[in-house]
Amino acid sequence: MSLELDRPRANIGHGDRKEFVPRKLPSVHLGVEETGTVSTEIGNLIRWRKNFGNVVLVMFCNGPVERTALEWRLLYGRVFKTVVILSSQKNSDLYVEEAKIDHIYKHLPKIFNRYSSAEGFLFVEDDTVLNYWNLLQADKTKIWTTDKVSKSWTSVKPTGKSDWFSVQAELVKRTVSTMPAHFQVNYKEAAKNNLDALTVCSSEVFYVPKRLVTDFIDLVELVGDMDLHYKVAVPMFFMSMDSPQNFDPVLGSMVYKKKSSSFNSSLSLYSAQAPAVHPWSISSEQDFIKLVGKMAEGDPLLMELV
């Protein structure tokens, strides 16, 4: 693994087919008094790149991709193998693929197959910030999800009427009944045999390791054309593929708050010590610059992007 610091900046034409590496450091950073600090910062970047260089980041953008797609690639492409950006509308110029967020899990097998040699796949929505420097301790052979975040992972008791939760619960029961035996056993144990309760996960961020990619694809095929929402399907998949006791707890300490009309009005929400922060709104280059300014506490070289 090598890091070429003299490669040029990425531009829109690169899309997610290229990997971004930072440009050559300006001479101001080469003074004797700064050499130790800069060496440490570059060493950290190399370490992060070595750890995540074979992990594919999949991002769904709810906001305007024309204003944010390049910025997200500049931010995360320095660390991950590649950044695949999805949105409700396709944009060929920016290499943005079309996908429906409600059924986002149905699009993931295409990406899994495209990058079959990847070590794993980290999904994140654009309202959630990843502090990748705090993810180094996570086990890349395990599932990462927010099952330890009470506001994100919840259990709902459907009323038995034709409300949304009841409809989704019925689709879960139908899917579980068609699963191979080992998936059914895992799911029922994870649900503590309380099959009337519906597990809902906000699923803004999760990770699928390579060893479970085939299982994930098989479960997507079992769902088929059913209108199973991703906030129900993803936790069902994870509970079927492995025991929650085996999930990596890395996301359990993320900053997580429910959205409000002014959820991005205070920069105090952000913490460089957390593995991830939710919610955070990015809809313009100025929003991105503000975010980079906060993230630079954990990754000072980010200031080279602005």
**What CATH number is associated with residue 214?**
3.90.550
Q: Tokens 């999930």 belong to which residue?
A: 247
Cα(123)–Cα(263) distance, integer angstroms: 22
Looking at residue 262, its pLDDT comes to 53
Mean pLDDT score of the chain: 88
Whether 188 maps to a domain, the answer reads no
Structure tokens at 186: 């895992």
pLDDT of residue 261: 54
Question: Looking at the domain assignment, is residue 118 inside a domain?
Answer: yes
Average pLDDT over residues 10-37: 46
- pTM for this one? 0.87
Is 234 domain-assigned? yes
In a domain, 85, yes or no: yes
CA atoms within 13 A on the CB side of 44: 16
Confidence at residue 68, expressed as pLDDT on a 0 to 100 scale: 92
Distance (Å, whole) CA 135 – CA 272: 12
pLDDT class for 69, splitting at 50, 70, 90? very high
pLDDT tens digits, residue range 259-275?
765 555 457 899 999 99
pLDDT in tens, 104-158: 999 999 999 999 999 999 999 999 999 999 999 999 999 999 999 999 999 999 9
Q: Tell me if 298 is assigned to some domain.
A: yes
Q: Is the pLDDT at 2 greater than 70, yes or no?
A: no
The answer to whether residue 67 scores a pLDDT higher than 60 is: yes
Helix, strand and coil in the chain, % to nearest 5: 45, 15, 40
d(CA 172, CA 223): 9
Tell me if 178 is assigned to some domain: no
For residue range 215-263, list pLDDT tens digits in order.
999 999 999 999 999 999 999 999 999 999 999 999 999 999 987 655 5
Number of structural domains in the chain: 1
- Asked if residue 158 is part of any domain, the answer here is no
- Preceding amide of 279 cis, omega within 30: yes
Contact partners, residue 199, CB within 8 Å, separation at least 6: 153, 154, 155, 156, 191, 232, 235, 236, 239
pLDDT 10s digits, 143-200? 999 999 999 999 999 987 789 999 999 999 999 999 999 999 999 999 987 888 999 9
The number of beta carbons lying within 10 Å of the beta carbon of residue 109 is 17
- Name which of 88, 212, 77, 80 is nearest 144 in CA terms: 212
pLDDT at residue 259 in the model: 75
Inter-residue contact 77 to 20 (CB < 8 Å): yes
Residue range(s) defining the domain that contains residue 108: 12-149+202-305
Domain contains 187: no
